[in-house]
Structure 1
Amino acid sequence: MRKFITMLAIAATLPMAAMADDDGDDDMQFGMAGLLSAKNKHDLEPIQLSAGMPLTSEPWVLKSGSYYEFEILGDGSQELALVGPEFFRAIWIDEIVVEGLEIRPLGLDSIEFDEAGEMEIGFIALKPGSYYIKIPGSTGETQRLDITIE
């Protein structure tokens, strides 16, 4: 509980730190939505869930305090899941969108595609470190996405 409160306190101060600009340049200021403003949003390469195919073409390098969105595209070639509990605990998930339905979870451990479909996840990177998302039980490098939060 103490770690959670500490993370919330840090997240609350991030908009203030990002808005403080010593050289007078207004490019770094966020809008009324703070961390969720459009100026702070970045789209990531989609994750492809397909039997025997790489998840992405390259690792993700994220910046703490930035908002990101990515899609997971499952082609239905095989029932596939993604796990990455350490990564999901290092971010704050704003929403998960599945077929137009918006889900706002308190946390996430894994996801699974039983058939073809798409999912979009929006989140704020919080805790710097090295993480991964992978297909459970797999050992190949292409079945794992390495993620760094700076």
Structure 2
Amino acid sequence: MKRLVTAFCLAFVGAPVAAAPLCDDFGFAGLLAKCNRGETIELTLASGQPLGEDQTLESGAYYTLEITADGSAELAVSGPDFFRAIWMNEIVINSIEIRPMAVDSIEFDKAGTVEMSFVAIKPGRHVLRIPGSTGESQQVTFSIQ
């Protein structure tokens, strides 16, 4: 019995530490449960203005990303690495819901807002940036833990 307890303790101590979920009981909705939702992330696309602040996300948590373009220029956001690190639930544009398989970028020809809901999946640092820009303020880094 003593060997069994010792083996169990060694196995438990050597096991990787798992992140705690945002809620204890997901219920019928699973990962999309209201208690598993992180704060809404807001980004603004404007000519010569910072895109937004870097974000830390929890793997397995459900988030909403709102990108608003002010119409000052034709701008896009691109981030194939970020879009492949998440499971996209839907993209909403003008009250039209789109359920995409994959996204590389989103371009705004004039002022408007796009709302994306997703579950963060792949841990690491992933960048969403304005294509062709080189400034640090023209990108947002998402750190998924």
Same fold by TM-score, threshold 0.5 exceeded?
A: yes
Q: CA deviation at 1:43?
A: 2.7
> In the TM superposition, what is the alpha-carbon distance from 1:47 to its structure 2 partner?
0.6
Q: Which residue of 1 aligns with 2:43?
A: 47
The answer to whether the 8 A contact 2:67-2:115 is kept is yes
Tell me the distance in 1 between the aligned counterparts of 2:39 and 2:96: 20
Q: TM (normalized to structure 1)?
A: 0.80
1:22: which partner in 2? Answer: none
Q: Could you tell me which amino acid in structure 2 is paired with residue 37 of structure 1?
A: A
- Which residue in 1 is equivalent to 2:133? 138
Check if 1:115 corresponds to 2:110. Answer: yes
2:87 to 89, 92, 95: 92
Question: Over residues 36-95 of structure 1, what are the superposed CA-to-partner deviations in whole Å (9 max), with x where a residue is unaligned?
Answer: 010111233311000011111x21100000000021000100000111000100100000
Q: Which one of 68, 71, 80 corresponds to residue 75 of structure 2?
A: 80
The answer as to 2:28 corresponding to 1:32 is yes
| Contact kept? 1:43, 1:70, Cα under 8 Å | no
Q: CA deviation at 1:139?
A: 0.6
Secondary structure of the residue that 1:32 maps to in structure 2?
helix
Q: Deviations over 1:84-108 (max 9, x none)?
A: 0001001000000001000000111
Find the aligned partners of 1:103 and 1:41 in 2 and give their Cα distance: 20
Structure 2 residue matching 1:87: 3-state secondary structure: helix
The separation in 2 between residues aligned to 1:126 and 1:55, in whole angstroms, is 23
Unaligned runs of at least 5 residues, structure 2: 1-19
Match of 1:128 in 2: 123
What is the DSSP-based 3-state SS (H/G/I as helix, E as strand, rest coil) of the residue aligned with 2:41? coil
Highest Rg: 1 or 2?
2
Aligned length: 126
Pair 1:67-2:58 in alignment? no
Q: TM-score, normalised by structure 2?
A: 0.83
Question: Within 1, Cα distance between the matches of 2:73 and 2:132?
Answer: 14
